[in-house]
Chain A
């Protein structure tokens, strides 16, 4: 317990986990114990959910009871509202794991004259703390407290500071919510954070390109480091707030030296033995160059080697994908019946990117695949603002690598002959390998060419190989004789030999 007279900057502050794993990573393991954190946000940004989750995690997972001081909704309403996140507040209350201090508006006449203090509030909180042996306290929200004593904000400020100090002295970790008027601007309406909070966290629910984008940001952590910037979050039934972790925090993935087949023997040859177990490969090419075929081979090759394979499709329906596969001699149906393959097709527009990410994560946790393909990322890119898409890619790649899953993503070029798609720009630095599929013109014939552009940690064939597609799939042939420009617009092999 860090009950100290003065707020000493402890070199190693004990951390209190909030139950939002990716958020705890942002603040180096959790909220510092015995400190006060303000969570600011506009109405509907998820403040009460965050606060309740903080208590719920303590109660259910860490044997740390909590006290919920509500200035806004009556306890009965909070119990009902939070039930959808899977939190049994009522049950916990009955077992004295949770206590409410009900400071919600009641029907009464009140006249405030002259000086007062909030000793009543503090006495009630301490009483509840004693009854539950609480370690965590939530005050939701301070804005309503200020509204209650609207004529005297100075006193409320002073009394809040006194209350916070007293609670900290008891070693309690305090989370206070405060309402904001706008997503960007003053942290809270009454500038509470300036005098009472050791730490400031902001929840946002902003409208960006006609889409709601929920984020969490750590603004200030007294005496401790934190990760800067907004991190996407989403509200999930039976879970609460789920933050989408950024890979910048988790670049410590170990690199595997184990190889897995790409599903195409010749491609395995070009890559000195196949993809790495925990690597992500990007397949980029214009429409019709054979990306989905490569995906199909990748999945089939894994299943043939006894692996489990998962495909999330955003462009074609299951029927189309299965028909295509059959056309290349691959029987997806039989693989699914054997439980070795799972194909999930979704409309990109059906949900937001963080929700897509969560869904993929849930699918992966559930099916536990050894390899995983997304066809295509470009379809997802349509639905998101640039920043959101980049975050999504970072999260997705770090997630599948952490699980030691071999990943394959496709990106569609807008131009038929070359150039870069935006997803390529985002993902090329995040992926371990890049395979380009291109149309290449040779005199008066159009051929398909495949090239391994990059392969991290391995030798690879740098040639551009021609390939054909028939009823048994992809066949890699000889390298192109000339030097076609696979990046440029005019791709004419033999005429560009200078």
Chain B
């Protein structure tokens, strides 16, 4: 996958993971989130938004599908919908690098 204009790491802020309650898909996404944070040694900061509790945040961000991992600081905002278990793919898409040099 080739990425144009990867976000500038210096301007990077917290990403958001939008999930809808406690569904199998949401659970998988939350596990993937942990792995992503570990893989970047915490550089990738992902806030969880349960849209069932915060539908207003989903409205503001224009979220249709869950799970959605979103980087609102990118221009234009960058999102990944669905399966975020492929760590390499996710990191590359959002312009992060693994801290684990074993890669």
Q: Which residues of A contact B (CB under 8 A)?
A: 101-103, 106-124, 126-128, 145, 148-149
A127 B65 Cβ-Cβ under 8 A: no
Given A119-B51, A124-B58, A124-B63, residue A114 in contact with residue B83 (CB < 8 A)? yes
10 new A-B contacts at CB < 8 Å, known A120-B65, A124-B55 = A102-B59, A109-B74, A110-B79, A111-B80, A114-B82, A117-B20, A117-B66, A120-B58, A123-B51, A149-B65
Interface assignment of B25: CB less than 8 Å from any CB of chain A: yes
Interface residues on B, range: 20 to 34
Distance A273 CA – B84 CA, assembled complex (angstroms): 87
The 8 closest A-B pairs by CB, nearest first: A114-B83, A119-B20, A127-B55, A120-B63, A116-B82, A114-B82, A116-B65, A108-B77
Distance A374 CA – B56 CA, assembled complex (angstroms): 59
A120 B25 Cβ-Cβ under 8 A: no
Considering only residues 33-90 of chain B, those with a C-beta below 8 Å from chain A are 51-52, 55-56, 58-59, 62-68, 74, 76-86, 89
A107 B65 Cβ-Cβ under 8 A: no
A148 B74 Cβ-Cβ under 8 A: no
Distance A101 CA – B64 CA, assembled complex (angstroms): 10
A113 B51 Cβ-Cβ under 8 A: no
Partner of A116, one of B51, B81, B86, B89: B81
| Nearest CB in chain B to that of A115: its residue | B82
Distance A123 CA – B64 CA, assembled complex (angstroms): 9
A111 B83 Cβ-Cβ under 8 A: no
| Nearest CB in chain A to that of B86: its residue | A113
| 18 A–B contacts, CB within 8 A, in A order | A108-B78, A110-B80, A113-B81, A113-B82, A113-B89, A114-B85, A117-B23, A119-B65, A119-B66, A120-B51, A120-B64, A120-B66, A122-B20, A123-B51, A123-B52, A123-B55, A127-B55, A128-B59
Distance A126 CA – B51 CA, assembled complex (angstroms): 11
Contacts of B67 in A (CB 8 A): 116
**Chain A nearest Cβ from B63, distance in angstroms:** 4
A116 B66 Cβ-Cβ under 8 A: yes
A-B contact count (CB 8 A): 98
**Chain B nearest Cβ from A291, distance in angstroms:** 64
B80 A113 Cβ-Cβ under 8 A: yes
Contacts of A145 in B (CB 8 A): 64
Contacts of B81 in A (CB 8 A): 110-113, 116
Partner of A126, one of B55, B65, B77, B85: B55
A120 B83 Cβ-Cβ under 8 A: no
| Nearest CB in chain B to that of A159: its residue | B65
Distance A41 CA – B15 CA, assembled complex (angstroms): 40
Contacts of B96 in A (CB 8 A): none
Partner of A112, one of B18, B51, B82: B82
**Chain B nearest Cβ from A102, distance in angstroms:** 6
Contacts of B66 in A (CB 8 A): 116-120
Contacts of A127 in B (CB 8 A): 55-56, 58-59
Considering only residues 8-23 of chain B, those with a C-beta below 8 Å from chain A are 18, 20-21, 23
Contacts of A148 in B (CB 8 A): 64
Contacts of B68 in A (CB 8 A): 116, 120
**Chain B nearest Cβ from A367, distance in angstroms:** 50
| Nearest CB in chain B to that of A120: its residue | B63
**Chain B nearest Cβ from A147, distance in angstroms:** 12
**Chain B nearest Cβ from A375, distance in angstroms:** 59
* Listed residue (B21, B66, B76, B86) with the most chain A CB atoms within 10 angstroms of its CB: B66
Contacts of A123 in B (CB 8 A): 20, 51-52, 55, 58
| Nearest CB in chain A to that of B93: its residue | A111
Contacts of A117 in B (CB 8 A): 20, 23, 25, 65-66
Contacts of A119 in B (CB 8 A): 20-21, 23, 51-52, 65-66
Contacts of A114 in B (CB 8 A): 82-83, 85
Distance A120 CA – B64 CA, assembled complex (angstroms): 4
Distance A122 CA – B77 CA, assembled complex (angstroms): 22
| Nearest CB in chain B to that of A105: its residue | B62
B62 A106 Cβ-Cβ under 8 A: yes
Given A113-B83, A115-B83, A117-B20, residue A124 in contact with residue B59 (CB < 8 A)? yes
Distance A101 CA – B77 CA, assembled complex (angstroms): 19
Distance A351 CA – B74 CA, assembled complex (angstroms): 53
Contacts of A110 in B (CB 8 A): 78-81
Contacts of B62 in A (CB 8 A): 102-103, 106
Contacts of B78 in A (CB 8 A): 108-110
Distance A119 CA – B79 CA, assembled complex (angstroms): 16
Distance A471 CA – B62 CA, assembled complex (angstroms): 78
Distance A16 CA – B61 CA, assembled complex (angstroms): 33
* Listed residue (A115, A122, A124) with the most chain B CB atoms within 10 angstroms of its CB: A124
Contacts of B55 in A (CB 8 A): 123-124, 126-127
**Chain A nearest Cβ from B25, distance in angstroms:** 6
Distance A121 CA – B25 CA, assembled complex (angstroms): 16
**Chain B nearest Cβ from A276, distance in angstroms:** 61
* Listed residue (B62, B64, B66) with the most chain A CB atoms within 10 angstroms of its CB: B64
Distance A145 CA – B64 CA, assembled complex (angstroms): 10
**Chain A nearest Cβ from B23, distance in angstroms:** 7
| Nearest CB in chain B to that of A119: its residue | B20
**Chain A nearest Cβ from B39, distance in angstroms:** 17
| Nearest CB in chain A to that of B3: its residue | A109
